[in-house]
């Protein structure tokens, strides 16, 4: 038991969600914290429902999370071993072939049942403490549909023993399965592993997280632009904490801090808003070159790349995923890369009826101060230079600040929703800003 070995044993019968992978994360972190091994066992004995694409997705998701396995294999590859030990139990009269009266069409007429010794079974769970159950009511339970088709309870006992699994870390919905498995372990002469049954993950409706109720496959979050380090960080904190006020830990820090005794007994809530907040934190920590790589914007000109780099503080401030960042670049920030097409009615939207010509005069008055700005001036400096012009309009009651700032912003962006004009000028540069303002003035002169 000194060499810790844990396993993640998913069934490839569907796409797995974050609750499933939280189990993998805990098993991985515990193994690595202890200097042990982490095994992936694909439990594919349900032939009808197991699909290659689901298995591929499991391996893909673990690779994305960078949960490296020391060994991985399919349970179906071990049928010979399962058969061998089923026959051993039958020979020892610890199990027997049972003639069944089918209850439903297609049910088996013969199954293999375990001869239940009955009585009390106790085990100590790392998270829940001592658990005691009377197994008498279980009767002689089924351990195989045929000599070549073991059911879950039997196959996992054999595989865990042969793999030298020291700690079985799984959801608390398996607690009721554990006494059956301990009985089988005793009959086969195996040592029971240490059990740690994790509290369930609940959705926002406080029911068990499930695909049937809309839980996303974890690879969907990857495709939305969630970083693997963010997902790992978030999953590790679902029902566990490091014992201090830390909220953001990278892989090495998680491995160093992880302790099964700090797993909570109560259920954890999967909160997508919180996940995206954690993701934003890790997005902001990326170097600009890595951030641009994740945005993956298809811009090739030097001007476009330079403007995208200048846009990164804005993207880091507002985007919670790289999908959102990409949508901003192609949406409200597209004006940074494509010259806007203006609508006269929107350009004049803030012009007061009793002061015609205010918009044109405001734009003309802004050209000189913008021309005085240096090429790499900050948005704060631009604001300090231009706000007095907006304040003057406010003082003269000629439509207020909006009569100056709105046409400026709209001239630069061509959009009703965009960053403020000071930010736009800082990214576009004074020269491009003046070019766009003059085009807006030209529209007003020709109306």
Confidence of residue 319 (pLDDT cuts 50, 70, 90): very high
- Report the pLDDT averaged over residues 16-21: 92
Say if residue 181's pLDDT is above 50: yes
Q: Select from 369, 381, 393 the least CA-distant residue to 422.
A: 381
Whether domain 1-69+199-285 has CATH 3.40.50.620: yes
Give the lowest-confidence range in 122-136, 179-193, 354-368.
354-368
Residue 7's pLDDT is what? 98
The confidence band for 2, taking pLDDT boundaries of 50, 70 and 90, is low
- Give all strands of the β-sheet with 149-150 in edge-to-edge order: 95-99, 110-114, 142-146, 149-150
In this predicted structure, the answer to whether residue 398 has a pLDDT above a threshold of 70 is no
Q: How many Cα atoms within 13 Å fall on the side-chain side of residue 253?
A: 14
In tens, the pLDDT along 125-162 reads 999 999 999 999 999 999 999 999 999 999 999 999 99
Query: What is the C-alpha separation between 246 and 248, in angstroms, rounded?
Result: 6
- Beta-carbon contacts of 246 under 8 Å, excluding residues fewer than 6 positions away, are 253, 257
What percent of the chain clears pLDDT 70, i.e. is strictly above it?
A: 97
Strands 37-42 and 5-8: parallel
Do residues 195 and 123 make contact, with C-beta atoms less than 8 angstroms apart? Answer: yes
Is the pLDDT at 163 greater than 60? The verdict is yes
- Specify which residues 403 forms β-bridges with: none
What pLDDT, on a 0 to 100 scale, did the predictor assign at position 1?
A: 43
- C-alpha 447/C-alpha 399 separation (Å) is 21
| pTM of structure | 0.90
- Does the pLDDT value for residue 414 go beyond 80? yes
Higher per-residue confidence, 274 vs 48? 274
Please report the DSSP string for 249-266 in residue order. Answer: --HHHHHHH--GGGB-SS
pLDDT bracket for residue 108 (50, 70, 90)? confident
Above 80 in pLDDT, residue 396?
Answer: no
Give the Cα separation of 408 and 447 in Å (integer): 18
Q: What kind of architecture, by CATH, is found in domain 344-445?
A: Orthogonal Bundle (1.10)
Amino acid 394: pLDDT:
66
pLDDT of 31 > 60? The answer is yes
pLDDT over 60 (residue 187): yes
Domains of the chain, by residue range, sit at 1-69+199-285, 286-336, 344-445
Average pLDDT over residues 260-271: 94
Range in 157-161, 175-179, 389-393 the model is least confident about: 389-393
CA distance 50 to 156: 17
| Mean pLDDT of the region 6-11 | 97
Residue 185, pLDDT score:
98
Task: Show the beta-strand stretches assigned E in 206-331.
Answer: 268-269
- Check residue 353 and give its pLDDT: 81
Mean pLDDT, the chain, integer: 93
pLDDT of residue 354: 79
Question: Average pLDDT for residues 356-362, to the nearest whole number?
Answer: 91
Q: Are 128 and 265 in contact (CB under 8 A)?
A: yes
What number is the average pLDDT over the span 47-74? 95
């Amino acid at each position: 038991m000194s060499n810790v070995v844990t396993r993640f044993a998913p069934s490839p019968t569907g796409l797995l969600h974050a609750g499933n992978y939280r189990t993998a994360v805990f098993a991985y972190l515990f193994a690595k914290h202890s200097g042990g091994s982490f095994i992936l066992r694909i439990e594919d004995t349900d032939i009808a429902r197991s699909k290659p694409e689901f298995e591929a997705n499991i391996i893909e998701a673990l690779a994305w999370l960078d949960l490296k396995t020391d060994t991985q294999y399919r349970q179906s590859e071990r049928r010979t071993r399962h058969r061998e030990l089923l026959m051993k139990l039958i020979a020892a009269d610890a199990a027997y072939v049972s003639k069944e009266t089918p209850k439903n069409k297609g049910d088996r007429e013969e199954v293999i049942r375990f001869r239940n010794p009955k009585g009390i079974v106790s085990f100590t769970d790392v998270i829940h403490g001592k658990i005691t159950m009377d197994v008498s009511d279980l009767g002689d339970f089924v351990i195989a549909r045929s000599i070549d088709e073991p059911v879950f309870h039997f196959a996992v006992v054999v595989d865990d023993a042969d793999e030298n699994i020291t700690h079985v870390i799984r959801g608390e919905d398996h607690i009721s399965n554990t006494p059956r498995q301990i009985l089988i372990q005793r009959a086969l002469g195996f040592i029971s592993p240490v059990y740690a049954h994790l509290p369930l993950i609940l959705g926002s409706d406080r029911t068990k997280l499930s695909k049937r109720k809309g839980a996303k496959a974890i690879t969907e979050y990857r495709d939305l632009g969630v970083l693997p380090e963010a997902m790992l960080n978030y999953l590790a904190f679902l029902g566990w904490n490091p014992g201090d006020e830390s909220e953001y830990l990278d892989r090495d820090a998680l491995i160093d801090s992880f302790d099964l005794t700090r797993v909570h007994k109560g259920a954890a809530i999967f909160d997508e808003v919180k996940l995206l907040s954690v993701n934003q934190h890790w997005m902001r920590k990326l170097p600009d070159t890595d951030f641009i790589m994740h945005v993956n914007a298809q811009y090739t000109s030097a001007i476009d790349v330079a403007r995208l780099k200048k846009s990164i503080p804005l993207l880091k401030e507002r985007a919670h995923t790289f999908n959102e960042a990409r949508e901003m670049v192609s949406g409200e920030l597209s004006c940074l890369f494509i010259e806007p097409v203006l609508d006269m009615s929107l350009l004049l939207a803030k012009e007061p009826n009793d002061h015609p010509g205010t918009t044109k005069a405001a734009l003309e008055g802004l050209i000189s101060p913008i021309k005085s700005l240096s090429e790499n001036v900050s948005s704060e400096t631009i604001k300090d230079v231009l706000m007095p012009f907006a304040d003057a309009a406010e003082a003269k009651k000629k439509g207020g600040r909006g009569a100056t700032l709105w046409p400026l912003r709209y001239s630069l962006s061509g959009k009703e929703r965009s960053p403020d004009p000071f930010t736009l000028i800082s990214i576009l540069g004074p020269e491009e800003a003046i070019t766009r303002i003059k085009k807006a003035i030209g529209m007003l002169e020709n109306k």
